[in-house]
Amino acid sequence: MKKKLCIIGASGDIGQRMYNTLVNTFPEYEIIGTCFQKKSIYLENLDVTNYNMLNRYLLNHMPYIIIWLSGSKDVKNCQINEEFAYSINTTPIKFLIEILKNNNIKSKLIYISTDYVFDGLKGSYLTSDNCNPLTNYGKSKLKAEMFLIESDITFLIMRTSAVLINGKGFLGWLKSEFEKNNKFSLFENTYFSPIPIEILNKAVEIYILKNDWKKNIIHISGPRLTRFDFGKYFANFMGYDKTLLIKDKANFTNSTFQRDISLVPDESIRFLSINSWENLFKYL
Ligand SMILES: NC(=O)c1ccc[n+]([C@@H]2O[C@H](COP(=O)([O-])OP(=O)(O)OC[C@H]3O[C@@H](n4cnc5c(N)ncnc54)[C@H](OP(=O)(O)O)[C@@H]3O)[C@@H](O)[C@H]2O)c1
């Protein structure tokens, strides 16, 4: 019988692509995944906020590897509703640890975390830098990381920056703005280190193959640039009209905007990283 590799949150933006990639890359594993509101015939319905349901799911499958992608990345909603942020991003990880421990299940966990665990005052963050999240989203993800660090389970926290997926998130929004052919603004004072989904998937593959997860936290990210520059390079690459872009400045008081939450990729996967915008867009 094949060992099971389970993606919790396989119906999400990252999860869908990671599921399809891993199914092709690892025929030696049975790749299974979960969904919540989006229904899929390939995925099993699971509410990770429901302890009994998660318990049943894990006992039923006894996964060898779990990749955890479920949660809410909605920074604004998490900011308005702190309780929601913790209930969806933190408590399920506490449940997971308890269930694995109580049932002596030895699953290895890859937990996808975020650049929002940093305060954005310094930028180019290493894993050795202090975390100091300013948003409820960042706080709830860091708290989940802390539960893992204090636990006995085998885990790898993979912190990543904005993940570039065709037609989704920032990239999808940018494309639709250019296609409206109206002027629009992007911040020239907020830095990030976006990464194509293909590179994140590759990093996950490398760590699935690696037996040694001694390092428990790694960063995987792309080149550091401002949102405005990203827009400019994207326009160049796609042949859109750059003059539609207006430079704007984010106001950091009373907002969830971050000055510079760029990450430095871990040396173990630095060979995957992208150091120029041309290479960043060639995946799209
Ligand atoms: N996307 C990024 O740029 C990025 C960057 C850094 C870190 N991350 C982290 O990576 C994670 C995944 O990102 P994503 O872009 O794939 O997010 P996403 O598209 O919002 O997907 C979230 C996943 O969680 C599932 N989910 C939501 N509530 C659930 C519940 N109560 N029980 C079980 N599953 C539930 C969703 O299921 P349904 O869709 O079926 O409802 C979906 O599969 C995020 O939580 C975020 O912290 C993402």
Q: Are 16 and 78 in contact (CB under 8 A)?
A: no
Q: 3-164+193-220 belongs to which CATH class?
A: alpha beta
The Cβ-side half-sphere exposure at 234, using a 13 Å CA radius, reads: 24
- The pLDDT score that the predictor gives to residue 78 is 98
Query: What is the pLDDT confidence band of residue 271, given thresholds at 50, 70 and 90?
Result: confident
Q: What is the mean pLDDT of residues 99-106?
A: 97
Q: What percent of the chain has pLDDT over 90?
A: 90
* Domain boundaries of the chain, sorted by first residue: 3-164+193-220, 169-191+224-260+275-281
7: nearest Cα among 269, 25, 87 = 25
Query: How many angstroms does the Cα of residue 95 sit away from the middle of ligand 1?
Result: 17
The CATH architecture one would assign to domain 169-191+224-260+275-281 is Alpha-Beta Complex (3.90)
Evaluate if pTM is beyond 0.85: yes
Residue 137 CA: nearest ligand 1 atom is 47
Q: Is the pLDDT of residue 199 over 90?
A: yes
- How high is the mean pLDDT of the chain? 95
Separation CA 260–CA 263 (nearest Å): 9
CA 111 from centre of chain? 9
Q: Does the Cβ of 47 fall within 6 Å of ligand 1? A: yes
Q: Does the Cβ of 162 fall within 6 Å of ligand 1? A: yes
Query: How many angstroms does the Cα of residue 141 sit away from the middle of ligand 1?
Result: 12
Q: What is the mean pLDDT of residues 83-100?
A: 98
Beta strands in 165-231 (DSSP E): 184-187, 191-192, 195-196, 217-220, 225-226
